[in-house]
Amino acid sequence: MDRRDFLKTGMAAGGALAAGGTGMVAGVAQAAGVPQDQRFPNGFVWGCATASYQIEGAVREDGRGPSIWDTFSHTPGRVANGDTGDVACDSYHRYAEDVALLKGLGVGAYRMSIAWSRIFPEGRGKPNPKGVAYYDRVVDALLAAGITPYVTLFHWDLPQALPGGWQNRDTAKAFADYAGFMAGKLSDRVHQFMTVNELRCFTDLGHVQGIHAPGLKLDPAAANQVRHHGVLAHGLGVQAIRAHARGGARVGIADNANIYVPAIETPEHIAAAKAAMRNENAMFLTAVMEGRYIDSYLEAAGAAAPKVQAGDMAAIGSPLDFVALNIYTPTFVKADASAPGGYAQLPHLASSPRMASPWLYVGPEAGYWGVRTVSELWNPKAIYISENGCSADDVLNAAGRVDDSDRIMYLRNYLGQFRRAASEGYPLNGYFLWSLMDNFEWADGYGKRFGIHHVDFATQKRTPKLSALWYRELIRRNALV
Ligand code: GBH
């Protein structure tokens, strides 16, 4: 772009900002135009994300059946402080207020999930019309506010009634039936569906580490079988959504593949990062993108490899309209010719920076390298960031506000790396900030806050943090700020 073009687009952006009204810090941008190197592509989708069990509460209302997270959170010792999702943000009753928060931010999209056990209290069988009606109300409220829903069908709250849970292959089939049913109900108004959230979390954390529901520590063969049922559920879900959607549905997955960052940006270390991305996610995103388990995974698993039936891998590899990535923490790698796969993973160090959650190491480069390695390995049609954000030790100041400059620091740095990926032409179409508001942070209960709105859980009062004002300004400019 030459100087004249730059000035022209700069002036256009300045004009748009002037028309946009009262920004907090609009003056500078209006005078100078938003610099090209800060901008996101036109039409970039800005959103926020939440998940049903983390925000809804109302766990016994309108015929909802129990989920494995109700059981787990009510088991003493499983969740910090004995917290449960019984009330959470009470979004079941306050969804209109939450849509207003979204509108206040100016987001064009909202990623939400559906509680399977509100729709099928027994996991399968007879649907519960009151559960469907709740999501009809939420979707209608979003559309009335000009906000596009991106619906995740499964964000960990598995119906407790399903025998054997994810250890049972039938659960994958039950998921597909439920996903197809909901696509049939919503696809006149919802056109973006994500099957499951974070394969590695609902399989491994729940069935290997045992720190999430259902709290099991299975042997390697049983664990691989659970993982297989997880990717199978995704694949059968894709097929069912396509079969039941009434036209125009785009289908993808929201996965938290482990993300590998080359320690040095040279060809050998970049190759190492790509190899790590493919190998270390072999039983999850790699299987989904390639429709097979790669040899290195099957060899390492040996007799513990999953039992696969005819047709499974074709379903698992169903072509997707987009891949969505939850990106938080990086793993740095370096090339190592002596190691299997040609790479060595570097441990986090004592002085590696982290946010309030001990696992949340800061590595903004994960944003760029996540998008780039997924693009180069599998060439998806489109990529979204379905989650990115951080916990912080938020405190209310004397005025009752949260000035979370630490969260703004985190977000600005990650978004700089996402912008880099988009500007280099990788097909990054949108970004969902985790999270719209503080909520039930799984095994950490309410002790870790990820919201850009503060929630007082005693009164349910929502208050925008400084990061919400920052995000609103970024969206208004479609540029880093
Ligand atoms: C996502 O998980 C989830 O999709 C979302 O629901 C969640 O609220 C959000 O991110 C923030 O955590 O305690 O050290 O054993 C991100 C993946 C899963 C990473 C749980 C940390 C616990 C690690 N997270 N995991 S540890």
Can you give the CATH number for the domain in which 69 is found?
A: 3.20.20.80
Q: Please report, rounded to a whole number, the percentage of residues in the chain having pLDDT higher than 70.
A: 93
**What's the whole-model pTM score?**
0.94
In short, whether 6's Cβ falls inside 6 Å of ligand 1 is no
Annotated catalytic residues are 198, 387
Task: Flag whether pLDDT at 21 surpasses 50.
Answer: no
Query: Both tokens of residue 314?
Result: 């074709």
Amino acid present at 69: W
Residue owning the nearest CA to atom 18 of ligand 1: 201
Residue of 387, 449, 452, 455 to mutate, ligand 1, most atoms within 8 A of C-beta: 387
Q: 3-class DSSP state for residue 331? A: strand
Phi first, then psi: give them for residue 413, nearest 5 degrees. Answer: -70, -45
Cα 15 off chain centre by:
34
Which has more confidence, 268 or 19? 268
pLDDT for position 36: 82
Pairing of strands 383-388, 322-326: parallel
The rounded Å distance from CA 465 to ligand 1 centre is 22
Nearest CA to ligand 1 atom 25: 359
Alpha-carbon 477 to chain mean position? 24
Please report the pLDDT score of residue 383 as a whole number: 99
Ligand 1 pocket, 53 CB below 6 A? Answer: no
* pLDDT above 90 (res 8): no
How deeply is 42 buried, as exposed, middle or buried, from its count of CB atoms within 10 A (0-12, 13-18, 19+)?
exposed
Single out the residue of 252, 406, 383 nearest to residue 327, CA to CA.
Answer: 383
User: 151: buried, middle or exposed (CB in 10 Å: 19+, 13-18, 0-12)?
Assistant: buried
Has 441 been labeled as part of a binding site? yes
Q: Are 409 and 24 in contact (CB under 8 A)?
A: no
CB of 446 sitting under 6 A from ligand 1: no
More confident residue, 1 or 310: 310
* Closest C-alpha among 439, 437, 471 to residue 453: 437
Give mean pLDDT, residues 34-50. 95
Say what the pLDDT of residue 248 is: 84
Spatial CA neighbour of 152 closest among 260, 40, 47, 286:
47
Question: Which of residues 106 and 248 earns the better pLDDT score?
Answer: 106
The residue written with tokens 């030790």 in the block is 393
What is the number of residues in the chain? 481
CA pair distance 101, 55, nearest whole angstrom: 14
Distance CA 166, CA 183 (A): 22
Q: Is 54 annotated as a binding residue?
A: yes
Residue having the nearest C-alpha atom to atom 26 of ligand 1: 359
Nearest ligand 1 atom to the CA of 439 is 8
Asked whether 172 and 116 are in contact (CB, 8 A), the reply is no
Q: Judge contact between 421 and 374, C-beta under 8 A.
A: no
Model confidence at 33: pLDDT above 80: no
Q: What pLDDT is recorded for position 23?
A: 34
* pLDDT greater than 70 at residue 25: no
197 annotated binding-site participant:
yes
* HEC per residue, 399-423: CCCCCCHHHHHHHHHHHHHHHHHHH
* Distance between Cα 332 and ligand 1 center (Å): 19
Mean of pLDDT values over 368-377:
98
Q: Indicate if the pLDDT at residue 309 is higher than 70.
A: yes
Decide whether any atom of ligand 1 lies within 6 Å of the 52 Cβ: no
Strands 453-456 and 461-464, how do they pair? Answer: antiparallel
- Residue 90 pLDDT level (bands cut at 50, 70, 90): very high
Given a cut of 60, whether residue 337 has pLDDT beyond it is yes
Q: Check if 359 has its Cβ closer than 6 Å to any atom of ligand 1.
A: yes
What is the residue-averaged pLDDT of the chain? 94
CA distance 432 to 436: 9
Q: How far apart are CA 68 and CA 154, in angstroms?
A: 13
Q: What is the pLDDT of residue 32?
A: 54
Side chain identity at residue 401, one-letter code: R
Q: Could you tell me which of 360, 262, 374 has the C-alpha nearest to residue 322?
A: 374
Per-residue pLDDT band for 457 (boundaries 50, 70, 90) equals: very high
Question: What's the gap in Å between 444 CA and the centre of ligand 1?
Answer: 9
What's the domain count of the chain?
Answer: 1
Q: Whose CA is nearest to atom 20 of ligand 1?
A: 201
Q: What number of other Cβ atoms are within 10 A of residue 127's Cβ?
A: 17
Among protein residues, the one with the nearest Cα to ligand 1's atom 19 is 359
Helix axes 129-144, 91-105, angle to 10 degrees: 20
Is ligand 1 within 6 A of the CB of residue 258? Answer: no
CA of 211 to the centre of ligand 1 (A): 11
- Whether 9 shows a pLDDT value over 70: the answer reads no
Its domain, for residue 163, covers: 3-477
Ligand 1 atom with least separation from CA of 51: 6
Assess whether the C-beta atom of 441 lies below 6 angstroms from ligand 1.
Answer: yes
The answer for residues whose C-beta is within 8 angstroms of residue 227's C-beta and 6 or more apart is: 199, 203, 204, 283, 284, 306
Any ligand 1 atom below 6 A from CB of 433: no
pLDDT at 37: 86
Lowest mean pLDDT among 9-18, 190-199, 259-268, 410-419: 9-18
Q: Whose CA is nearest to atom 14 of ligand 1?
A: 359
Q: Which atom of ligand 1 is nearest to the CA of 254?
A: 4
Is the CB of residue 221 below 6 angstroms from any atom belonging to ligand 1?
no
- Closest ligand 1 atom, CA of 358? 14
Distance 390 CA to ligand 1 centre (A): 10
Rg (CA), the chain: 22
> Residue range 425-443: average pLDDT?
99
The CA distance from 58 to 55, in Å, is 10
Question: Residue 365: CB within 6 Å of ligand 1?
Answer: no
Give the chain's end-to-end CA distance (angstroms, integer): 22
Residue 443 has pLDDT above 60, yes or no: yes
> Stretch 383-412: mean pLDDT, rounded?
98
Reduced to 3 states (helix: H, G, I; strand: E, B; else coil), residue 268 is helix
The pLDDT value given to residue 313 = 99
What integer pLDDT is reported at residue 213 of this predicted model? Answer: 98
Tens of pLDDT along 206-227? Answer: 999 999 999 999 999 999 999 9
Pocket probe for ligand 1: among 69, 154, 357, 361, the residue whose CB has the most ligand atoms within 8 Å is: 357
Answer whether residue 6 shows pLDDT above 70. no
Q: Which atom of ligand 1 is nearest to the CA of 156?
A: 6
The residue-averaged pLDDT of 30-57 equals 90
